[in-house]
Chain A
Amino acid sequence: MTLSGRFVLLLALGAVPIVLFGPSSGQATGVLALWVLLVCVLGGIDLALAASPRAVTVERMLPSRVRLGESVTSELYLTNTGRRRLNAVVRDAWQPSAGAGQNRSRVVIPRGERRLVSLTLTPFRRGERRVEQVTVRSPGPLGLWNRQATLNAPGRIRVLPPFHARKHLPSRIARLKELDGRTSVMVRGQGTEFDSLREYVRGDDVRSIDWRATARRNDVMVRTWRPERDRRVVILLDTGRTSAARVDNEPRLDTAYEAALLLAALTSVAGDRVDFLAFDRRVRGRVQGASGAALLSQMVDSMALIDPELIEMDWAAVPGQVRSITSQHALVVVLTSIDAAGASTGLLSVLPQLTKRHTVVVASVLDPATVLAAATRGGRDEIYRAASAERALLDVARVSAAIRQLGADVVTASPAQLPPALADRYIALKAAGRL
């Protein structure tokens, strides 16, 4: 039961009869008691005449997934099973980050009928957004007292990572295609494989002439090559505490998602097999053996529910995890953060085990604020900031150098630049036949 503003106003209007008909204290008190009684009786009658909000059945229709930043429509069907006409206000209690905005609406449902309440959701946080309950407030005919009931109507919608980096995909695919069908001049070497024979045209490298075929066909034939296919790529995502840090108002983890998605999309186009693993001290998400469209959808699905964990990454377990995915040579992409030397000892200690079997690329976000601070030398405080920033950059450089010395590759870039940079590095490695 709830009161309405109208009831409060009506109660306040009691001052008029009290002043008019209550010259003495006793009479005025009597008028007050009568007025309060009258108002309460009216409220009681109103409450008794209100339609029951309990006699409402709720059905919900929701799309199961939405990309972050896009909008979906949540549909709520309310059926009035009571005996009276329901004239109510309905609140669909979505979590705030579901972006429901104004989630109260007025509905009029005649007895036995059904009405649709639709709500546009624009979630502003990744993950699973839930709704558990619907509250129905049904005022009486006088609008003094309301009946109110909360109905259980659970629903959930999975908000997937936005994958803004897909805008880089066409250009990278184009560059990948350029690798195809090239003659040996450009790409021949270890890691490329024989594609087909074609007639010699001027400009082809004479070294790629296939003399046997030329003898058979009475025409000069050259071999063409294409980049090797069906290589394995393992994307390892660090979801430990350092992934929670925000760079350019985006957690490192989300930048890593973008990079991982772009890389996965590119590798599946290139015909390589991608395995995805999100790990800190336990496996937080794993996608194995998927390809094509299923790969990306499975990846975003498992990414959607992962939030950074405030624990230290267990690097010692990483080689074992990679081994459990593949025993063959693979390109292992480690998406983590390269900070001071002390914080990276875990990574550095296990890199030799990885580089012995695999090609390893370590990708990390570089804070553009640090780069900017290193170049800003206005006053005294800014010089100290620049020195501190320079120190941080030198630390990153030292760790990067150490990683390179251990045989791995390093990609560092600002959040916006990291996904294309990683994709470029992948294309470069593929062109060099190092997969």
Chain B
Amino acid sequence: MSATLTSPTNAATPGAGAAGETTVATPTLRALLHRSSFWMIAAACILAIAIIAVLVSGGSQAAGRALAGDNAAPAGAMALVEVLGQQGVTVTLAGSLAEVRSAVGADSTVLLYDENSYLDQSQLRELGGLAVRTVVVAPDFLALQALAPTVGFGGVSDAETLTADCSVPAANQAGELVPGGDTLSIPEGGDSLVTGCFASGSETFSLVQVANETTGGLVSLVPDPRVFNNENVTGYGNAALALGLLGPSDALIWYLPTLADLPRTGPPSLAELTPGWVTPVLVLLALVAVAAAIWRGRRFGPLVAENLPVTVKASETMEGRARLYARGNARLRALDALRVGAVQRLARIVGLGRLAHLEEVIGTVAQITGREPDRVRRVLVGAIPVSDSQLMALSDALQALETATGQAVRAGAPESASPEFSTLPAERMDP
């Protein structure tokens, strides 16, 4: 293809049939928007519905963690946190010891509920010394070791009612506690700094308060987490106990340890070793791949359709029949076809007509070639091939007989090349 320059004056005039005004097949952006507006609006609607559905379901279904301050589920503690907030207590939700450390003030209360035992002993000891008042919900063995070594586990409470019956003011305000749940035990004649309330037996209690001589801190141990959760906080004196334990100061730190509290061990991870630019470069490469796909994939105009002609090879039927013969080992049938063809050709060569009798042909051929008529008959009709090698031998014999007859006719009678067959050389005469 070549593009040549012609000035407008000397350019050849296009034919009269050429269109004066060219119409454009590609739709304009506006037409495209107009045409696809239904689908775009439909897609926007579906997206909006999906977002709304996620938001609505997300508000109602979030399971959250047990005793989490922002969890409104039955196992959460949002009710207590809200009430404390209304009472003027500033509640800070903390997820790690570092946050607690930074949030704690001179007169703070810390609530610890370490459901999964993330904290180790040193962290627990540090926590115990951070605030004036520490409330530990459902302390595990490590917590008891660190904060109240003299206190042990007391098993599940079997008392029908739990009454305060001690000197702790908050417990006295509460009066009664939800029955059942875990207890802690204080050995008899033990430490004077340890106070047990809500006794189930002689040594098992549902609230134990331990005063620290050196720091002056007060650690309250509540083995049963049900006291604080949304489901049970309104029953018995639970709410009064909770407010009494958590409400004395203006600042409350609601601490639920997370994975962030686990000490890091081992070699640095792959993510820490990779430079900061790797992810953006990968994003860029993805964008480049998309751009390259658009670059190479965008068509230069629509495809052009063309009807293709049917192509059938005429010799297919012949090939198919040959394969059928071969598969069926139809030796005699195949040989018959060859023989009929050969007999007709021989008849023509020796100058007999198309309708000549077979015996006539055999006799004439035998006479011309000087072979015995029986041998000729055997080749032309008699022999029955029982193997492929016999078939091949007979086929060769047929060809040899035709060649010999042709040579004999040409040698014996050159003039007998009858003009009948030479007038129209292009035509195939009957075999």
Residues of A near any B CB (own CB < 8 A): 2-5, 7-8, 11-12, 14-15, 18-19, 22-29, 31-32, 35-36, 54, 56-62, 75, 77, 89-97, 100-107, 113-120, 125, 131-135, 137, 148-153, 244-247, 251-252, 307-308, 310, 339, 365-367, 369-371, 373-374, 377, 379-381, 383-394, 397, 400-401, 411-413, 417-418, 420-421, 424-425, 428
B306 at interface (Cβ–Cβ under 8 A)? yes
B388 at interface (Cβ–Cβ under 8 A)? yes
Which residues of chain A come closer than 8 Å to B313, judged between CB atoms? Answer: 245-246
Q: 1/0 per position for B2-42, CB-CB distance to A under 8 A?
A: 11111110011011001111111110100000000000000
Nearest Cβ in chain A — how far from B383, in angstroms? 15
B321 at interface (Cβ–Cβ under 8 A)? yes
Known: A244-B310, A377-B399, A394-B337. A19 touches B318 (CB 8 A): no
Which residues of chain A come closer than 8 Å to B427, judged between CB atoms? Answer: 411-413, 421, 425
B63 at interface (Cβ–Cβ under 8 A)? no
Q: Is the CB of B334 within 8 A of A383?
A: yes
Instruction: Provide the bound-state CA to CA distance between A144 and B338, in Å.
Output: 73
Instruction: Provide the bound-state CA to CA distance between A381 and B331, in Å.
Output: 11
B298 at interface (Cβ–Cβ under 8 A)? yes
Please list the 6 inter-chain residue pairs (A to B) with the smallest Cβ-Cβ separation, ordered nearest first.
A135-B301, A387-B334, A421-B426, A388-B322, A59-B14, A25-B276
Nearest chain-B residue to A2 (Cβ)?
Answer: B298
Which residues of chain A come closer than 8 Å to B430, judged between CB atoms? Answer: 397, 400-401
Which residues of chain B come closer than 8 Å to A389, judged between CB atoms? Answer: 318, 322
B315 at interface (Cβ–Cβ under 8 A)? yes
Nearest Cβ in chain A — how far from B55, in angstroms? 27
Known: A7-B295, A94-B304, A389-B318. A310 touches B6 (CB 8 A): no
Q: Is the CB of A23 within 8 A of B391?
A: no
Nearest Cβ in chain A — how far from B282, in angstroms? 10
The A/B interface has a contact count, at CB < 8 Å, of: 288
B279 at interface (Cβ–Cβ under 8 A)? yes
Nearest Cβ in chain B — how far from A400, in angstroms? 6
Known: A103-B1, A106-B3, A385-B322. A393 touches B277 (CB 8 A): no
Q: Is the CB of A151 within 8 A of B23?
A: yes
B371 at interface (Cβ–Cβ under 8 A)? no
Question: What would be 12 A-B contacts, judged by CB atoms less than 8 Å apart?
Answer: A3-B291, A11-B291, A59-B19, A89-B300, A118-B3, A149-B26, A150-B302, A153-B22, A374-B341, A379-B392, A401-B354, A420-B426
Q: Is the CB of A4 within 8 A of B428?
A: no
Residues of B near any A CB (own CB < 8 A): 1-8, 11-12, 14-15, 18-26, 28, 275-277, 279-281, 283-285, 287-288, 291-292, 294-295, 298, 300-302, 304-306, 309-315, 317-319, 321-323, 325-326, 333-335, 337-338, 340-341, 344, 354, 388, 391-392, 395-396, 399, 423-424, 426-428, 430-431
Instruction: Provide the bound-state CA to CA distance between A106 and B5, in Å.
Output: 11
Which residues of chain B come closer than 8 Å to A392, judged between CB atoms? Answer: 317-318, 321
Nearest Cβ in chain A — how far from B8, in angstroms? 5
Pick the contact of B8: A90, A113, A420 (CB < 8 A): A113
Instruction: Provide the bound-state CA to CA distance between A22 and B344, in Å.
Output: 94
Q: Is the CB of B5 within 8 A of A115?
A: yes
Which residues of chain A come closer than 8 Å to B311, judged between CB atoms? Answer: 244, 246, 251
Nearest Cβ in chain B — how far from A172, in angstroms? 12
Instruction: Provide the bound-state CA to CA distance between A401 and B431, in Å.
Output: 11
Nearest chain-A residue to B327 (Cβ)?
Answer: A384
Q: Is the CB of B340 within 8 A of A3?
A: no
Known: A151-B23, A397-B431. A18 touches B284 (CB 8 A): yes
Nearest Cβ in chain B — how far from A42, in angstroms? 13
Q: Is the CB of A388 within 8 A of B321?
A: yes
Q: Is the CB of B277 within 8 A of A22?
A: yes
Q: Is the CB of A25 within 8 A of B279?
A: yes
Instruction: Provide the bound-state CA to CA distance between A121 and B318, in Å.
Output: 38
Instruction: Provide the bound-state CA to CA distance between A379 and B27, in Å.
Output: 66
Instruction: Provide the bound-state CA to CA distance between A4 and B295, in Å.
Output: 6
Nearest Cβ in chain B — how far from A402, in angstroms? 11
Nearest Cβ in chain B — how far from A395, in angstroms? 10
Q: Is the CB of A381 within 8 A of B6?
A: no
Pick the contact of A247: B283, B314, B326, B338 (CB < 8 A): B314
Nearest chain-B residue to A308 (Cβ)?
Answer: B310
Instruction: Provide the bound-state CA to CA distance between A418 and B25, in Å.
Output: 48
Instruction: Provide the bound-state CA to CA distance between A83 and B113, in Å.
Output: 76
Nearest Cβ in chain B — how far from A111, in angstroms? 12
Nearest chain-B residue to A410 (Cβ)?
Answer: B427
Which residues of chain A come closer than 8 Å to B306, judged between CB atoms? Answer: 95-97
Q: Is the CB of B22 within 8 A of A394?
A: no
Instruction: Provide the bound-state CA to CA distance between A366 and B292, in Å.
Output: 55
Which residues of chain B come closer than 8 Å to A400, judged between CB atoms? Answer: 430
Q: Is the CB of A22 within 8 A of B280?
A: yes
Q: Is the CB of B300 within 8 A of A251?
A: no
Nearest Cβ in chain A — how far from B85, in angstroms? 34
Instruction: Provide the bound-state CA to CA distance between A25 and B280, in Å.
Output: 7
Known: A152-B24, A244-B310, A388-B318. A377 touches B304 (CB 8 A): no
